[in-house]
Amino acid sequence: MDKNLAYYISGHGYGHYARSIPVLKQLASDFNVHIKSQVSKSLFTQHLGEGVNHWLQSIDAGCRHINNSLQVDPEETFKNFENFQGQSTIEAEKNWLRENQIALVLSDVASMPVKAAYDVGIPSILIGNFTWHDIYSHLPGAGEEKHLLQMLEEEYSCADLHILPQCHLPQSFARENREVGFIAQKGQDIRNELEQYLNISFAGKTLVFIYLGDYGTRSVLWENLSQHKDCLYLTRDLIEQAVPGLCILDDRFQFPDLIASSDVVCTKGGYSTLGSAFASHKPVITCERRDFYEFEAIRDYLQKTRTGVIIADDDFYQGRWQTAIKTALSLTVKDRVPLNGEVEILEAVRHMLL
């Protein structure tokens, strides 16, 4: 009989969910996996089938943002985290783990599940290139929230193994760390299908795929992109204005396929978008995110591997992307970064359950 695994996925944005899909596909053949996340079941069934075991549940607090932008609101973030900890149902979680005979807990990247696993004597694996402790401890006002940060540190230290995908921050509280390749959904090139759907010829055009996610779309002067006559921009972001040369697509087109069909990927620097871009050998352009500590690792990685271009904030939000796009087109991505981290995670799980 297959062993039961519990896989917890942060609901803060869709990056954690997107990164988890390749891992879940690997695990599904060997184990009975229960998914716990605030991300809706329908987003999992499209990749894993209708029989997926899904439990709708908030498992971490994440960050709060200012005015639908990429900027983090420190005060609201700490308040939300404290409320989450105060309402934490860790005792109920421990009972659930026992009742469902869970053999191993995996978490991307919430701390509560690994603490619950530790309390009931179940091994756990933390998956993440950063932790919420990394993010919170570098926010303004963190010095006054030492009790919350200490609580986070204690919970993360309960993990038996921390899987560190490429482009990770150095600090980890787990008993053991293991670096793996990028975990990424790999897409298919659907340029011909896109040309027919949009009724536009891509000949002589540079295709730029844009993903800024739930935050940041209102911060860019999109109308300035129309000045770039040699570029055609594709996105699934909900941009509320019509701009010549900017094509807004719906969910019939999958993010990894749009990335694989483009020449350059423009992103807010989220891990899953970077991973899918590199898996399809696409260079990236991104903006600075000075208030999000994770970006320090991303900046260093892009500069070290020469796989992307970082645009100054003012140029990014003004839509002055042309120079960065031309520079990105000159970069080579293939064989520059390790991939297939999901395969390494399956091996780690098998080894832990021997």
Of 172-176, 293-297, 344-348, give the range with the top mean pLDDT: 344-348
Model pLDDT, residue 341: 98
- Where does the chain show beta strands of DSSP type E? 4-9, 32-37, 53-56, 102-108, 124-127, 161-165, 177-180, 206-211, 231-235, 246-248, 264-267, 284-287, 308-311
Tokens of residue 182, six digits = 């990028």
pLDDT > 70: percent of the chain:
97
The mean pLDDT of 146-172, rounded to a whole number, is 96
pLDDT in tens, 160-203: 999 999 999 998 899 999 999 999 999 999 999 999 999 999 99
Model pLDDT, residue 182: 97
Model pLDDT, residue 219: 81
Q: Would you mind telling me the total number of residues written for the chain in this entry?
A: 354
Tokens of residue 126, six digits = 């933390």
pLDDT in tens, 219-265: 899 999 999 999 999 999 999 889 999 999 999 999 999 999 999 99
Residue partners of 217: CB distance under 8 A and separation at least 6: 68, 237, 238, 239, 240
Higher pLDDT, 324 or 289: 324
Candidates 3.40.50.2000, 3.40.50.300, 3.60.20.10, 3.40.50.720; correct CATH number of 4-183+340-352? 3.40.50.2000
Tokens of residue 250, six digits = 């719906």
Closest CA relative to residue 113, chosen from 190, 35, 177: 35
The mean pLDDT of 338-342, rounded to a whole number, is 97
Candidates 3.40.50.2000, 3.40.50.1580, 3.20.20.60, 3.40.640.10; correct CATH number of 191-329? 3.40.50.2000
Model pLDDT, residue 86: 73
Cα–Cα distance measured from residue 141 to residue 228, given in angstroms and rounded to the nearest whole number? 41
Average pLDDT, the chain: 94
Confidence of residue 68 (pLDDT cuts 50, 70, 90): low
User: Where, residue-wise, is CATH 3.40.50.2000 in the chain?
Assistant: 4-183+340-352, 191-329
Higher pLDDT, 201 or 1: 201
Least confident of 46-60, 286-300, 326-340: 286-300
CB 46 within 8 A of CB 68: no
In the predicted structure, residue 292 carries a pLDDT above the cut 90? no
Distance, CA of 9 to chain centre: 10
Closest CA relative to residue 325, chosen from 225, 218, 215, 239: 225
Exposure b/e, 241-274, CB count within 10 A at least 16 = b: eebebbbbbeeebbbbbbbbbbbbbbbbbbbbbb
Token pair 């997926």: residue: 52
Residue type for 342, please? E
Query: CA gyration radius for the chain?
Result: 20
Tokens of residue 309, six digits = 């271009």
